[in-house]
């Protein structure tokens, strides 16, 4: 062996050991991304779920077939144990297509694109015909009072603020109208409530979503209309008194099975430390639930598949949870946390993806105040490994389904994708696979797998 060959071998050894020391994590994160982008399954799974199990409102047949489908897909990943956590949800059914018309003073009818709000009661069989009064807020209903509201249809028309950079902030600033508007209107004697759809887009898609009734008040129908139609109705109201005709026949169908789906890789060193990754399997009944939240579910499943495909053996237990009934009651998340607490489980971390399958921009972190600083300081060390993938870290909420795990004092995490397009699709017939980009979805899964890999390998303190 020549001196030169020996020298080369030594040099190679030094290079290799440096790589597998300092750069080992970067190498694994690259491998995760290569797997997600080169051999990803998330998009194909999502396509199948959207096409065959769309409109998965909890308790529906579509929900239960989606539960079977995802459980089966999880079982195809080597090393993953898949099972149902039983759960029952109050099943709400839209029934026939909503009929909503403006009737102007000359009796001319103008059709509006409308959807009953989730969990809304229906109109009487003969429909409702009543005068409309437009308001911009719940407070305005109170200020107008019983005399002005009684017998009318209250039209909540405050738009989402387009100047908010983050669309979720704009949503948060307007959604009280949908969530509490019908009940507030009922308090002052209204016969129904119409709500401007929750989007900054000007289009013809009505956006449904949960409305919450106050048990002590009369339940009146709540209906969303598209933003274009909201503008149209508002313009007509400026010309004089306007009546609308509303006919819906949605109703609560009673409790139905709607299991939460779980797939789990048992940890090799600390099996009792659970790291949860998840989304919610249910969607609204319109559209396919592609972004909300088929994407999050498929990404959670894909994290397990990536670990298996790259040969990564987690030290801790990695559990993909596809929650039931987030949209109209959060029963899946409540149920899961209850069972987990009763079993004395500890979730070291829980990461939810429920903001759409768009390009990931980072993660937001939350935890009990007693532990947050320690966790966040620790996590922040890894930022340089993820920054080159366009990811950043911030403090903030995680996800509705996992929020109840906060009392276990682990770390709660939300995937934060680009939010610009989310409310083009959210809760509409347009939330379909065609509007999900394969690479964006895959990058989200890769981002999740990368962070979960680091948490699993190093812990969080």
Min CB(69)–a copy of itself separation in Å: 22
Min CB(42)–a copy of itself separation in Å: 13
Min CB(403)–a copy of itself separation in Å: 25
- Residue ranges of alpha helices (H) inside 194-288 are 227-237
Is 434 a residue that touches a copy of itself (CB under 8 A)? no
Burial class (CB in 10 A: 0-12, 13-18, 19+), 111: exposed
Strands (E), 324-410: 346-352, 360-366, 392-395
Please list, residue by residue across 255-277, b when 16 or more beta carbons sit within 10 angstroms of its beta carbon and e when fewer do.
ebbbbbbbbbbebeebeebbbbb
Binding marks (x or -) toward a copy of itself, 436..455, rule CB under 8 A? Answer: -xxxx--x------------
Binding marks (x or -) toward a copy of itself, 36..55, rule CB under 8 A? Answer: -xx-----------------
Nearer to a copy of itself, 274 or 386 (CB): 386
Min CB(357)–a copy of itself separation in Å: 11
The helices-and-strands tally (H runs, E runs) of the chain is 14, 18
Query: How many Å apart are CA 195 and CA 58, to the nearest integer?
Result: 23
Nearer to a copy of itself, 64 or 136 (CB): 136
Cβ count within 10 A of residue 238: 8
Is 165 a residue that touches a copy of itself (CB under 8 A)? yes
Nearer to a copy of itself, 33 or 247 (CB): 33
Query: Which whole-number Å values give the CA distances from 274 to 17, 77, 82, 301, in the listed order?
Result: 31, 19, 15, 16
Is 302 a residue that touches a copy of itself (CB under 8 A)? no
Cβ atoms of 336 and 401 within 8 Å: the answer is yes
Is 26 a residue that touches a copy of itself (CB under 8 A)? no
Is 33 a residue that touches a copy of itself (CB under 8 A)? yes
Considering only 278-286, 306-314, 334-342, 383-391, which stretch makes contact with a copy of itself by CB under 8 A?
Answer: 383-391
- Reading the block at residue 131, the tokens are 């005068």
- Residue ranges of alpha helices (H) inside 42-155 are 42-52, 61-75, 138-149
Which of 359, 397, 400, 457 binds a copy of itself (CB under 8 A)? It is 359
Q: Residue 364: beta bridge partners?
A: 394, 414
Nearer to a copy of itself, 142 or 231 (CB): 231
Is 390 a residue that touches a copy of itself (CB under 8 A)? yes
Total chain residues near a copy of itself (CB under 8 A): 24
Query: How many Å apart are CA 380 and CA 455, to the nearest integer?
Result: 12
How is residue 405 annotated by DSSP?
G
Nearer to a copy of itself, 376 or 389 (CB): 389
Is 337 a residue that touches a copy of itself (CB under 8 A)? no
Q: What part of residues 414-433 is at the interface with a copy of itself (CB under 8 A)? A: 418, 420-421, 424
Question: Which residues form the interface with a copy of itself (CB under 8 A)?
Answer: 33-34, 37-38, 162-163, 165, 167, 200-201, 359, 361, 388-390, 418, 420-421, 424, 437-440, 443
């Amino acid at each position: 062996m020549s001196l030169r060959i020996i020298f080369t071998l030594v040099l190679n050894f030094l290079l290799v050991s440096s790589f597998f020391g300092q750069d080992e994590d970067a190498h694994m994160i690259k491998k995760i991304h290569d797997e997600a982008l080169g051999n990803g399954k998330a998009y194909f799974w999502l396509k199948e779920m959207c096409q065959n199990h769309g409109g998965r409102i909890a308790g529906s047949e579509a929900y239960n077939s989606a539960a079977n489908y995802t459980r089966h897909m999880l079982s195809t990943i080597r090393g993953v144990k898949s099972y149902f956590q039983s759960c029952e949800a109050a099943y709400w059914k839209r029934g026939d297509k909503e009929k909503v018309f403006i009737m102007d003073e000359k009796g001319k009818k103008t059709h509006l694109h409308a959807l009953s709000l989730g969990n809304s009661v229906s109109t009487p069989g003969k429909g409702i015909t009543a005068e409309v009064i437009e308001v911009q807020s719940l407070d305005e209903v109170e200020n107008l009072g019983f005399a002005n509201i009684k017998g009318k249809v209250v039209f909540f028309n405050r738009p989402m603020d387009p100047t908010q950079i983050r669309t979720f902030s704009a949503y948060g600033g307007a959604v009280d109208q949908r969530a509490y508007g019908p009940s507030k209107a009922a308090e002052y004697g209204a016969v129904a409530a119409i709500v401007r759809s929750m989007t900054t887009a000007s289009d013809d898609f009505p956006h449904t979503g949960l409305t919450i009734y106050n048990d002590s008040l009369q339940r009146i129908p709540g209906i969303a209309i598209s933003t274009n139609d909201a503008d149209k109705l508002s313009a007509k109201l400026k010309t004089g008194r306007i009546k609308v005709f509303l006919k819906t026949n949605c109703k609560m169908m009673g409790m139905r099975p709607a299991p939460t789906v779980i797939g789990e890789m048992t940890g090799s060193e600390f099996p009792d430390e659970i790291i949860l990754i998840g989304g919610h399997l249910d969607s609204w009944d319109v559209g396919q639930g592609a972004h909300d939240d088929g994407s999050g579910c498929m990404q959670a499943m894909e994290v397990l598949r990536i670990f298996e495909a790259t040969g990564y053996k987690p030290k801790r237990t990695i559990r993909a949870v596809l929650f039931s009934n987030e949209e109209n009651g959060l029963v899946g998340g409540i149920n899961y946390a209850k069972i987990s607490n009763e079993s004395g489980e500890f979730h070291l971390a829980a990461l939810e993806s429920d903001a759409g399958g768009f390009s990931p921009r980072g993660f937001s972190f939350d935890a009990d105040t007693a532990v947050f600083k320690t966790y966040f300081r620790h996590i922040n060390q890894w930022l340089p490994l993820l920054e080159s993938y366009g990811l950043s870290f911030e403090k903030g909420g995680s996800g509705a389904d996992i929020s109840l795990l906060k009392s276990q004092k682990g770390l709660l995490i939300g995937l934060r994708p680009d939010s610009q397009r989310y409310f083009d699709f959210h809760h509409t017939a347009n939330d379909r696979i065609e509007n999900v980009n394969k690479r964006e979805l895959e990058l989200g899964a890769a981002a999740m797998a990368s962070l979960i890999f680091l948490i699993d390998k190093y812990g969080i303190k």
